[in-house]
Amino acid sequence: MSTVSSDSTVLRGRSLPRAFYLRNNVIDIANDLLGKLLITRFNDELTGGLITETEAYAGVNDRASHAFGGRRTLRNEPMYAMGGTIYVYLCYGIHHLFNVVTHQEDEPHAVLVRGIHPIIGMDIIEQRRAPACPTTNGPGTLTTALGIRTQHSGLDLLNGPIGIEDIGIILKEQDIVVGPRIGVDYAGADAALPYRFRVAPSRLRLEPERWALHA
Protein backbone atom coordinates (compact mmCIF):
# COMPACT_ATOMS: atom_id res chain seq x y z
CA MET A 1 0.00 0.00 0.00
CA SER A 2 1.20 3.51 -0.75
CA THR A 3 0.07 6.92 0.40
CA VAL A 4 -0.21 9.68 -2.18
CA SER A 5 -1.48 13.22 -1.90
CA SER A 6 -3.33 15.59 -4.21
CA ASP A 7 -3.80 19.29 -3.47
CA SER A 8 -6.38 18.81 -0.77
CA THR A 9 -6.56 15.20 0.35
CA VAL A 10 -4.60 12.03 0.93
CA LEU A 11 -5.44 9.08 -1.27
CA ARG A 12 -4.46 5.57 -0.23
CA GLY A 13 -4.04 3.04 -2.98
CA ARG A 14 -3.54 -0.69 -3.13
CA SER A 15 -1.78 -2.32 -6.08
CA LEU A 16 -4.06 -4.19 -8.43
CA PRO A 17 -3.57 -7.95 -7.99
CA ARG A 18 -2.35 -10.25 -10.74
CA ALA A 19 -5.85 -11.68 -11.06
CA PHE A 20 -7.13 -8.30 -12.28
CA TYR A 21 -4.90 -8.53 -15.35
CA LEU A 22 -5.26 -12.27 -16.01
CA ARG A 23 -8.97 -12.04 -16.83
CA ASN A 24 -9.82 -13.08 -20.38
CA ASN A 25 -12.04 -10.09 -21.27
CA VAL A 26 -9.83 -7.20 -22.31
CA ILE A 27 -12.92 -5.03 -22.87
CA ASP A 28 -13.90 -5.33 -19.21
CA ILE A 29 -10.35 -4.60 -18.10
CA ALA A 30 -10.10 -1.47 -20.28
CA ASN A 31 -13.32 -0.22 -18.69
CA ASP A 32 -12.25 -1.18 -15.17
CA LEU A 33 -8.92 0.67 -15.46
CA LEU A 34 -10.74 4.01 -15.59
CA GLY A 35 -10.30 5.81 -12.28
CA LYS A 36 -7.33 3.70 -11.25
CA LEU A 37 -4.10 5.42 -10.24
CA LEU A 38 -1.12 5.01 -12.59
CA ILE A 39 2.11 5.80 -10.73
CA THR A 40 5.82 5.86 -11.50
CA ARG A 41 8.82 5.99 -9.20
CA PHE A 42 12.08 6.89 -10.92
CA ASN A 43 15.15 8.14 -9.03
CA ASP A 44 13.04 8.79 -5.93
CA GLU A 45 10.63 10.94 -7.97
CA LEU A 46 7.00 9.90 -7.54
CA THR A 47 4.44 10.95 -10.15
CA GLY A 48 0.99 9.70 -11.00
CA GLY A 49 -2.48 10.34 -12.28
CA LEU A 50 -5.95 8.88 -12.49
CA ILE A 51 -6.57 6.95 -15.70
CA THR A 52 -9.22 8.76 -17.75
CA GLU A 53 -9.10 7.06 -21.15
CA THR A 54 -8.26 3.58 -22.44
CA GLU A 55 -8.52 1.44 -25.57
CA ALA A 56 -8.78 -2.34 -25.70
CA TYR A 57 -6.88 -4.49 -28.23
CA ALA A 58 -8.10 -8.06 -28.44
CA GLY A 59 -5.15 -10.04 -29.70
CA VAL A 60 -4.74 -12.17 -32.78
CA ASN A 61 -8.30 -11.68 -34.06
CA ASP A 62 -8.31 -7.89 -33.74
CA ARG A 63 -7.12 -6.22 -36.93
CA ALA A 64 -6.11 -3.11 -34.97
CA SER A 65 -3.82 -5.09 -32.66
CA HIS A 66 -0.06 -5.36 -33.10
CA ALA A 67 -0.57 -9.09 -32.57
CA PHE A 68 -3.22 -9.55 -35.28
CA GLY A 69 -2.85 -12.85 -37.08
CA GLY A 70 -0.34 -14.05 -34.49
CA ARG A 71 2.28 -11.47 -35.45
CA ARG A 72 5.17 -11.81 -33.02
CA THR A 73 8.25 -9.58 -33.18
CA LEU A 74 10.95 -8.31 -30.86
CA ARG A 75 8.92 -5.14 -30.34
CA ASN A 76 5.59 -6.74 -29.45
CA GLU A 77 6.99 -9.76 -27.57
CA PRO A 78 5.83 -8.34 -24.20
CA MET A 79 2.24 -8.66 -25.44
CA TYR A 80 2.66 -12.44 -25.23
CA ALA A 81 3.73 -12.33 -21.58
CA MET A 82 1.30 -12.89 -18.71
CA GLY A 83 -1.20 -10.24 -17.71
CA GLY A 84 0.28 -7.39 -15.71
CA THR A 85 3.26 -6.95 -18.03
CA ILE A 86 4.03 -3.53 -19.50
CA TYR A 87 4.16 -3.01 -23.27
CA VAL A 88 5.59 0.32 -24.47
CA TYR A 89 6.14 1.04 -28.15
CA LEU A 90 7.32 4.01 -30.14
CA CYS A 91 4.76 5.72 -32.39
CA TYR A 92 5.91 7.84 -35.36
CA GLY A 93 9.41 7.60 -33.92
CA ILE A 94 8.46 10.17 -31.27
CA HIS A 95 5.74 9.08 -28.85
CA HIS A 96 6.20 6.34 -26.25
CA LEU A 97 2.81 4.64 -25.79
CA PHE A 98 2.03 2.74 -22.59
CA ASN A 99 -0.02 -0.47 -22.66
CA VAL A 100 -1.15 -2.91 -20.00
CA VAL A 101 -0.88 -6.55 -21.12
CA THR A 102 -3.83 -8.72 -20.08
CA HIS A 103 -4.98 -12.35 -20.22
CA GLN A 104 -2.81 -15.47 -19.85
CA GLU A 105 0.66 -15.93 -21.29
CA ASP A 106 0.65 -16.32 -25.11
CA GLU A 107 -2.75 -14.57 -25.37
CA PRO A 108 -1.63 -11.11 -26.59
CA HIS A 109 -4.38 -8.83 -25.31
CA ALA A 110 -3.52 -5.31 -24.21
CA VAL A 111 -5.02 -2.00 -23.09
CA LEU A 112 -3.59 1.27 -24.33
CA VAL A 113 -3.76 4.03 -21.71
CA ARG A 114 -4.65 7.18 -23.62
CA GLY A 115 -5.09 9.77 -20.88
CA ILE A 116 -4.64 10.54 -17.18
CA HIS A 117 -5.60 13.29 -14.76
CA PRO A 118 -2.32 14.05 -12.94
CA ILE A 119 -2.51 14.38 -9.18
CA ILE A 120 0.95 13.41 -7.88
CA GLY A 121 4.29 15.12 -8.45
CA MET A 122 2.94 18.08 -10.39
CA ASP A 123 6.24 19.98 -10.19
CA ILE A 124 8.07 17.01 -11.72
CA ILE A 125 5.42 16.60 -14.41
CA GLU A 126 5.72 20.27 -15.35
CA GLN A 127 9.49 19.94 -15.63
CA ARG A 128 9.21 16.86 -17.85
CA ARG A 129 6.64 18.50 -20.11
CA ALA A 130 8.43 21.88 -20.35
CA PRO A 131 8.38 23.98 -22.41
CA ALA A 132 5.13 22.45 -23.63
CA CYS A 133 1.86 22.83 -21.78
CA PRO A 134 1.77 20.10 -19.09
CA THR A 135 -1.23 18.29 -20.59
CA THR A 136 -1.67 14.54 -20.12
CA ASN A 137 -4.78 13.90 -22.22
CA GLY A 138 -2.94 11.98 -24.92
CA PRO A 139 -1.00 8.70 -24.88
CA GLY A 140 2.27 10.39 -25.81
CA THR A 141 1.98 13.32 -23.40
CA LEU A 142 1.10 11.15 -20.41
CA THR A 143 4.19 8.99 -20.83
CA THR A 144 6.39 12.07 -21.04
CA ALA A 145 4.77 13.42 -17.89
CA LEU A 146 5.28 10.16 -15.99
CA GLY A 147 8.74 9.38 -17.38
CA ILE A 148 7.67 6.17 -19.16
CA ARG A 149 9.82 5.06 -22.10
CA THR A 150 10.24 2.04 -24.36
CA GLN A 151 13.02 0.82 -22.09
CA HIS A 152 10.29 -0.05 -19.58
CA SER A 153 8.57 -2.44 -21.99
CA GLY A 154 8.48 -5.94 -20.51
CA LEU A 155 8.52 -4.83 -16.87
CA ASP A 156 6.00 -6.17 -14.37
CA LEU A 157 3.36 -3.81 -12.98
CA LEU A 158 3.42 -5.69 -9.67
CA ASN A 159 7.19 -5.54 -9.17
CA GLY A 160 8.81 -2.47 -10.60
CA PRO A 161 8.93 1.33 -10.85
CA ILE A 162 5.56 1.54 -12.65
CA GLY A 163 2.34 0.40 -11.01
CA ILE A 164 -1.42 0.77 -10.99
CA GLU A 165 -3.38 1.17 -7.77
CA ASP A 166 -7.03 1.09 -6.75
CA ILE A 167 -7.97 4.08 -4.61
CA GLY A 168 -11.63 3.17 -4.30
CA ILE A 169 -13.13 5.15 -7.16
CA ILE A 170 -16.26 3.58 -8.61
CA LEU A 171 -17.58 4.87 -11.92
CA LYS A 172 -21.17 4.33 -12.96
CA GLU A 173 -22.29 3.57 -16.51
CA GLN A 174 -23.28 7.19 -17.09
CA ASP A 175 -19.79 8.31 -16.07
CA ILE A 176 -18.18 6.50 -19.01
CA VAL A 177 -18.24 7.36 -22.71
CA VAL A 178 -17.78 4.41 -25.06
CA GLY A 179 -16.84 4.62 -28.74
CA PRO A 180 -14.49 3.46 -31.50
CA ARG A 181 -10.72 3.62 -31.17
CA ILE A 182 -8.62 6.43 -32.62
CA GLY A 183 -6.29 6.13 -35.61
CA VAL A 184 -7.07 2.53 -36.59
CA ASP A 185 -8.79 3.05 -39.95
CA TYR A 186 -6.50 0.37 -41.40
CA ALA A 187 -8.36 -2.22 -39.30
CA GLY A 188 -11.42 -2.33 -41.57
CA ALA A 189 -14.60 -3.30 -39.75
CA ASP A 190 -12.66 -3.67 -36.50
CA ALA A 191 -12.02 0.09 -36.54
CA ALA A 192 -15.67 0.64 -35.60
CA LEU A 193 -15.62 -1.65 -32.55
CA PRO A 194 -16.63 0.17 -29.31
CA TYR A 195 -13.32 -0.49 -27.58
CA ARG A 196 -12.49 3.05 -26.41
CA PHE A 197 -13.49 4.12 -22.90
CA ARG A 198 -13.36 7.64 -21.45
CA VAL A 199 -14.38 9.23 -18.19
CA ALA A 200 -17.27 11.56 -19.05
CA PRO A 201 -16.42 15.29 -19.12
CA SER A 202 -19.01 15.94 -16.41
CA ARG A 203 -17.13 13.62 -14.05
CA LEU A 204 -13.74 15.08 -14.96
CA ARG A 205 -14.93 18.52 -13.85
CA LEU A 206 -15.05 17.24 -10.27
CA GLU A 207 -11.91 17.43 -8.17
CA PRO A 208 -10.19 13.99 -8.23
CA GLU A 209 -10.69 13.42 -4.51
CA ARG A 210 -14.46 13.91 -5.00
CA TRP A 211 -14.76 11.16 -7.62
CA ALA A 212 -15.09 8.53 -4.90
CA LEU A 213 -17.54 10.65 -2.93
CA HIS A 214 -19.82 10.90 -5.97
CA ALA A 215 -19.71 7.22 -6.91
Stated pTM of the model: 0.90
Cβ-Cβ contacts under 8 Å for 117 (sequence gap 6 or more): 49, 50, 52, 136, 199, 204, 208
Task: Tell me the pLDDT tens digit for each residue of 45-99.
Answer: 999 999 999 999 999 999 999 999 999 999 999 999 999 999 999 987 788 999 9
CATH code assigned at 10: 3.10.300.10
At residue 2, the pLDDT reads 42
Count structural domains, the chain: 1
- Spatial separation of the C-alpha atoms in residues 55 and 87, rounded to whole Å: 14
Residue 205 has pLDDT above 90, yes or no: no
- Note the pLDDT tens digit of each residue in 91-135: 877 889 999 999 999 999 999 999 999 999 999 998 998 766 656
Evaluate if residue 39 carries a pLDDT over 50: yes
Domain that holds residue 180: 2-214
User: Quick check: 212 pLDDT over 90?
Assistant: no
Q: What is the pLDDT of residues 136-170, one digit of tens each?
A: 778 889 999 999 999 999 999 999 999 999 999 98
